[in-house]
């Protein structure tokens, strides 16, 4: 199995409708890995408190923002998510000249969660991640059962008004601001000569390694990338296909358009095989700060046969039990993090139902088509319902406390009726 990883997209006005930012990501992971969707409320901490990430313990901040995350069940961090300030982040694996092998440190997925918990703007998240990289570094296996699967990370980060592309190589990094139009990333470096922020030693380090002559225009992707690898070529193909699909919808990119891109199998964006799309996310963020953002998650593999279910940040939200994997037992004495049950028992309630229905649809074509049709009708109903909140705001936030959970229950009911 050669990991291929993911694709992340963002579209800003004027490429979108109604002055909105549209963010989307597929999380492509090992096919037997469960992806859960979880909510963590905002929280205050005392001086000297720490937080246990996937592999290392780091200093905690005084306050963390409320977040909703789509994450592999076995680790602390997240593949993608959003916070109460409508900051969205997704990360991609990238490989370059610098070795990604090294001591356990922060995973890119840890940095996604930390950026969301600690920043209230996209640029702020860039600064948070950069500071954490400088202090703690990045490293460690990104697969539970494969110690050699390591990589550097790129991040696509958005808020109500702009997006940032942040690319890393060890502790070195470069960032590019995106203020309009659209941008997508795959598993390759994409920042070239437009660099709006950078590690102060990034160019000096590249020159010391003999990657840059110190005179020619500095192109981050050229300097820090391998010239060619199988992974980069494959990622380049997905990147080009994703960009073409964004181009075709330019000026009219909506949540539905982004969902269609994430569902596309011919391009490889909706990945199949030993590495597959195990979770998907689409967020719709109005530029008007008085209006809520709506964040859609599947919490199940293959968006083609999944429902994008809406989540809105309101007060008094409850845990998302139907999409949270079970845990058990005492904390691990070494890593001091909750230990999950064996892989089959990590499956949350929605995942179990989805897996059963997927087996039925594979065996009975006519029944599978009916199930998919009913799922699409449910999704369309939710998209229409969310338009009211996106356009006019939320008058009765208490009615949305169980929005995502009720949608999960409706999806499971569709499975039962089909």
Show which residues are catalytic: 6
For residue 11, what are the β-bridge partners?
22, 182
- Which residues have C-beta within 8 Å of that of residue 221, sequence separation ≥ 6? 167, 188, 189, 190, 191, 192
CB-CB contact of 322 with 307 (8 Å): no
CB-CB contact of 361 with 371 (8 Å): yes
Helix/strand/coil (H/E/C) assignment for every residue in the chain: CCCCCCEEEEECCCCECCCEEEEEEEEEEECCCCEEEEEECCEECCCCCEEECCCCEEECCCEECCEEEEEECCCCCCCEEEECCCCEEEEEEECCCCCCCCCCCECHHHHHHHHHHHCCCHHHHHHHHHHHHHHHCECCCCECCECCCCCEEEEEEECCCCEEEEEEECCEEEEEEECCCEEEECCCCCCCCCCCEECCCHHHHHHHCCCCCCCCCCCHHHHHCCCCCHHHHHHHHHHHHHHHHHHHHCCCECHHHHHHHHCCCCCCCCCCCCEEEEEEEEEEEECCCCCCCEEEECCCCCHHHCCCEEECCCCCCCCCHHHCCCEEEEECCCCCCEEECCHHHHCCHHHHHHHHHHHHHHHCHHHHHHHHHHHHHHHHHHHHHHHHHHHHCCCCHHHHCCHHHHHHHHHHHHHHHC
CA gap 168, 64 in Å, rounded: 24
CA gap 122, 280 in Å, rounded: 20
- Which residues have C-beta within 8 Å of that of residue 197, sequence separation ≥ 6? 126, 130, 174, 175
């Amino acid at each position: 199995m050669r990991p291929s990883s993911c694709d992340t997209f963002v579209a800003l006005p004027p490429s979108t409708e109604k002055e909105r930012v549209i963010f989307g990501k597929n999380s492509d992971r090992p096919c037997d890995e469960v992806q859960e969707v979880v909510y963590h409320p905002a929280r205050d901490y005392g001086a000297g408190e720490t937080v246990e990430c996937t592999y290392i313990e780091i200093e905690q901040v005084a306050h963390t923002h409320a977040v909703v995350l789509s994450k592999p069940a076995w680790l602390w961090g997240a593949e993608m998510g959003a916070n109460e300030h409508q900051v969205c982040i997704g990360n991609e694996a990238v490989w370059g000249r610098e070795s990604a092998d090294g001591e356990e440190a922060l995973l890119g997925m840890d940095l996604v969660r930390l950026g969301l918990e600690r920043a209230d703007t996209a640029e702020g998240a860039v600064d948070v991640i950069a500071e954490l990289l400088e202090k703690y570094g990045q490293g460690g296996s990104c697969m539970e059962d494969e110690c050699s699967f390591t990589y550097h990370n790129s991040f696509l980060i958005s808020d109500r008004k702009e997006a940032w592309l942040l690319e890393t190589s060890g502790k070195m990094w470069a960032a590019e601001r995106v203020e309009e139009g659209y941008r997508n990333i795959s598993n390759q470096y994409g920042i070239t000569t437009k660099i709006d922020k950078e590690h102060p030693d990034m160019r000096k380090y590249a020159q010391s390694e003999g990657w840059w002559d110190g005179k020619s225009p500095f192109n981050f992707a050229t300097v820090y990338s391998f010239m060619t690898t199988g992974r980069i070529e494959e990622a380049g193909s997905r990147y080009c296909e994703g960009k073409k699909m964004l181009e075709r919808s330019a000026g009219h990119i909506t949540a539905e358009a982004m969902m269609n891109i994430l569902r596309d199998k011919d391009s490889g964006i909706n990945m199949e095989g030993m590495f597959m799309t195990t979770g998907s996310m689409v967020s719709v963020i109005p530029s008007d700060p008085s209006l809520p953002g709506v964040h859609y998650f599947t919490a199940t593999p293959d968006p083609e046969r999944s429902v994008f279910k809406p989540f809105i940040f309101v007060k008094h939200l409850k845990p998302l039990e139907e999409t949270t994997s079970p845990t058990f037992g005492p904390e691990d004495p070494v890593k001091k993090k909750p230990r999950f049950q064996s892989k089959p028992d990590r499956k949350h309630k929605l995942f179990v139902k989805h897996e059963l229905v997927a087996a039925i649809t594979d065996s009975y074509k006519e029944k599978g088509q009916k199930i998919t049709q009913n799922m699409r009708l449910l999704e369309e109903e939710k998209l229409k319902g969310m338009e009211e909140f996106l356009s006019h705001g939320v008058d009765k936030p208490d009615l949305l406390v169980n929005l995502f959970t009720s949608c999960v229950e409706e999806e499971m009911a569709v499975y039962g009726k089909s």
